[in-house]
Amino acid sequence: MTHARTQTEVLVVGAGPTGLTLACDLARRGVSALLVEKAGALFPGSRGKGLQPRTQEVFEDLGLLAAVHAAGRPYPRMLSWEDGERQGEWDLVGTPEPDPTVPFPAVWMLPQWRTQELLYERLRELGGEVAFGTALSGLDQHPDRVEARLTGPDGAERTVSARYLVAADGGRSAVRRAVGIPMAGEQVDPRPSLVADLEVDGLDRENWHIWPKAPGGAVLLCPLPSTTAFQLFAQFGGEDGSGPQEPDTSAAGVRRTIAARTHLPESALGRVHWASDFRPRAALAERLRDGRVFLAGDAAHIHSPAGGQGLNTSVQDAYNLGWKLGQVLRHGADEALLDSYEAERLPIAADVLDISTRLHRAGGVRDGGLRRGPRTEQLGLGYEDGPLTVEARPGLAEDALRAGERAPDAPLDGSVLDAATGTARRLFDLFRGPHVTVLAVGRALPELPELPAGVHGHRIDGGVAERAYGQGLFVVRPDGYLGLATHDPSDLPGYLARLGLR
C-alpha cells in the first residue's frame, strides 16, 4: 500500500553525524526538513571519537558544545605495553599553545554514538525529529523537485516530494547509487581491522593502552569518556602470519583476540557492546551534486580512521551546505549559490583524504607513528579559490588573513554590543547564529552603510581582532569563513546580493 504524498523542503537521508548536523542547521533557519534513517535507532558504536577544533566551533554555533564538553574529555596519553610491562608514554595529539584566535585548541574525545545522541537532542530542541526504520527505495528528479519513495518500518511505501535531497547515508549510499554518481578509491591497507566497545578490568582509564608488537597485529584499548567501556582497535593479517587473518566480531571472538595479544586474561574482559570489522579505504565521489541531489559525509568520501578526519569532514560538509540551502529557500538567493557546495567541498575532501591516507601509511601505531598535528585540526582548511571568495585588498603581506580563510575568534573589550545577547566578549559571540556578519575593522574605515535584514554589522577597533584581521571590511559567512575582504563599502551590496541579501 502506498501512503499519501508528503511534502518537505529538504529530505535528508541518513541520521549519522552528517544528517543530524544538517537537520539542526536547517531547523534553526526555519527550513522544513525530513530526516530519515534506515536503522531503527542511532548508530551504537564509538567509531569516530575525535572532535577537531574546527568541529567544536561548529557545535558551539549550533548550540551543543557545552553538552559535548561535559560528556567528553581531552585525549589521554598513549601508553605502550610489551610482555606485560609498561614501556613509556607519549602524546597522540600534543598540547596546543594558547591562542586567542582559537577558542578550542585541543582535540576532544567523545564516542560517535554519544555525539549523535547530543545532536539528536539538539535537533529535538529545535523542533526536528528523525523517522527511524525508514529506507529510500527509489527517487525521480524533476525540474522543480525530487520525488523519493520511502519504505517505513511497517513495510508500507510513501512518496515524499522535496525541493532538495541530501544523501547522508554513508559509504554504501543508496542515494549515490540511485543517481549514478561514481566513487573512485583505493585500498589504504589490505589488512582487516577489528573495532569494538567493551568492558575491561585491570587497566587504568587515564591512558590509551597500546600493544604495538602484539602477535598477529597491534592492539589498542582506549577508555571512552562518560562510560565504563574501552574502544578496541586491532589489526589482523600481520606479516609474520601469526594468529587468525580475519577478525571474529562475535563477543567471544573479541575477547579471545585481546587475551591472545595482551597480558589481560579473558576473565578481565566483560560485555561487548558493539563490534565491527573493516579494511581501511580512501574513496571520493566524482561529484557532489546531481540536479537537486547532494552528497555529504561518507556518501561523498570514505577515510582511513587515521587522523580523525572522517566524522569532522562530514560535519563540515553539512555546515557548508546548510546555510546555502537556507539562503535559497528562505532568502531568495539564486540557486547558483548551491553550485558553490561542490566547488568548495570537493577539493577539501580530496585534501583531507590525502592527509588520512598519509597518516595511516606513515608507520602505524608504533613509537608515536600516528602523532597528529595542525593539518588534522582543520583550522587551516579554507576556500581561497572558491566561487564565493572575493579578496579586494591590494598589497597584502604574505602572512595576512585573506578572504576564503576561517574567520578567527578574538576577545573584545566590552564596548561591542550584540543585539541578541548584549555585550559580546568574543568575535564568535557576534558570529553565532544563522546570520551573515559584516565587520568593519580599523579606525581608518568609514561607518558601515545600512545593511539588509539578515546581516549583522559591527565596528571593531584595535586589540587582537585588528591584529588578526588587519584593516578592512569583512563579510563573515554563516559558516564562519571570510567571503569578502575589501576597503570599499560600495563592494558590500553586490556581494550580499549574491547571498540573497538585498
Does residue 238 sit in helix, strand or coil? coil
Cell of 453: 535584514
According to the model, what pLDDT value does residue 442 have? 92
According to the model, what pLDDT value does residue 94 have? 75
According to the model, what pLDDT value does residue 446 have? 77
| Strand arrangement, sheet containing 301-302 | 183-187, 281-285, 301-302
Classify residue 464: in a domain, yes or no.
yes
Classify residue 171: in a domain, yes or no.
yes
What would you report as the CA-atom Rg of the chain, rounded to the nearest whole angstrom?
A: 24
The answer on 401 and 482 residing in a single domain is yes
The answer on 471 and 403 residing in a single domain is yes
- Residue 481: closest CA among 377, 416, 407, 422: 407
Cα angle 405, 407, 411; round to 5: 150
The answer on 435 and 478 residing in a single domain is yes
Q: Report the distance separating Cα 170 and Cα 168, nearest Å.
A: 6
Encode 455-469: b = buried (16+ Cβ within 10 Å), e = exposed: bbbbbbbeebbbebb
In the listed set 233, 251, 279, which residue is the last one of a domain according to the structure? Answer: 279
Cβ atoms of residues 44 and 274 within 8 Å = yes
Classify residue 383: in a domain, yes or no.
no
DSSP conformational letter for 361: T
Instruction: Extract the residue ranges of the chain whose pLDDT is less than 70.
Output: 1-5, 186-188, 238-244, 306-308, 356-376, 414-415, 417-423
Determine the distance from the C-alpha atom of residue 27 to the mean position of all C-alpha atoms in its chain, rounded to a whole number.
18
In the listed set 315, 347, 377, which residue is the last one of a domain according to the structure? Answer: 377
CA distances from 16 to 11, 197, 395 (A): 14, 18, 45
State the residue range of the domain holding 264.
73-101+190-279
The answer on 169 and 25 residing in a single domain is yes
According to the model, what pLDDT value does residue 173 have? 97
The answer on 144 and 32 residing in a single domain is yes
Q: Report the distance separating Cα 187 and Cα 95, nearest Å.
A: 32
Hey, what amino acid is at 252? A
CA distances from 485 to 54, 114, 392, 407, 412 (A): 21, 39, 6, 11, 20
According to the model, what pLDDT value does residue 364 have? 47
- Residue 402: closest CA among 470, 499, 494, 317: 470
Q: What is the CATH number of the domain that holds 166?
A: 3.50.50.60
According to the model, what pLDDT value does residue 65 have? 98
Determine the distance from the C-alpha atom of residue 145 to the mean position of all C-alpha atoms in its chain, rounded to a whole number.
27
Classify residue 177: in a domain, yes or no.
yes
Long-range contacts of 460-468 (CB under 8 A, 24+ apart): 460/412, 460/416, 460/427, 462/413, 463/410, 463/411, 463/412, 463/413, 464/100, 464/101, 464/410, 464/411, 465/410, 465/412, 465/427, 465/439, 465/441, 466/441, 466/442, 468/101, 468/401, 468/408, 468/410
Classify residue 268: in a domain, yes or no.
yes
Q: Report the distance separating Cα 139 and Cα 195, nearest Å.
A: 34
Q: What is the CATH number of the domain that holds 95?
A: 3.30.70.2450
Mean pLDDT of all residues belonging to the chain: 91
Q: What is the CATH number of the domain that holds 485?
A: 3.40.30.120
Classify residue 449: in a domain, yes or no.
yes
The answer on 359 and 414 residing in a single domain is no
The answer on 151 and 289 residing in a single domain is yes
The answer on 263 and 229 residing in a single domain is yes
Determine the distance from the C-alpha atom of residue 191 to the mean position of all C-alpha atoms in its chain, rounded to a whole number.
26
In the listed set 326, 356, 377, which residue is the last one of a domain according to the structure? Answer: 377
CA distances from 352 to 5, 311, 314 (A): 40, 11, 11
Q: Report the distance separating Cα 114 and Cα 43, nearest Å.
A: 9
According to the model, what pLDDT value does residue 365 have? 43
The answer on 305 and 228 residing in a single domain is no
The answer on 137 and 94 residing in a single domain is no
**Strand-pair category, 33-37 with 130-132:** parallel
Helix and strand numbers, DSSP H then E, in the chain: 11, 28
Cell of 213: 608488537
According to the model, what pLDDT value does residue 229 have? 98
Classify residue 382: in a domain, yes or no.
no
The answer on 140 and 194 residing in a single domain is no
Classify residue 384: in a domain, yes or no.
no
Contacts of 420 (CB under 8 A, 6+ apart): 433
The answer on 453 and 329 residing in a single domain is no
pLDDT digits (tens, 9 = 90+) for 438-467: 999 997 777 788 899 999 999 999 999 999
- How many domains are there within the chain? 3
Contacts of 130 (CB under 8 A, 6+ apart): 15, 20, 23, 35, 36, 37, 42, 120, 123
Cβ atoms of residues 176 and 284 within 8 Å = no
According to the model, what pLDDT value does residue 83 have? 94
Cell of 114: 554519544
Burial class (CB in 10 A: 0-12, 13-18, 19+), 425: middle
State residue 155 phi and psi, 5-degree precision.
85, -5
Residue with cell 559580546: 424
| Cut 0.75: pTM above it | yes
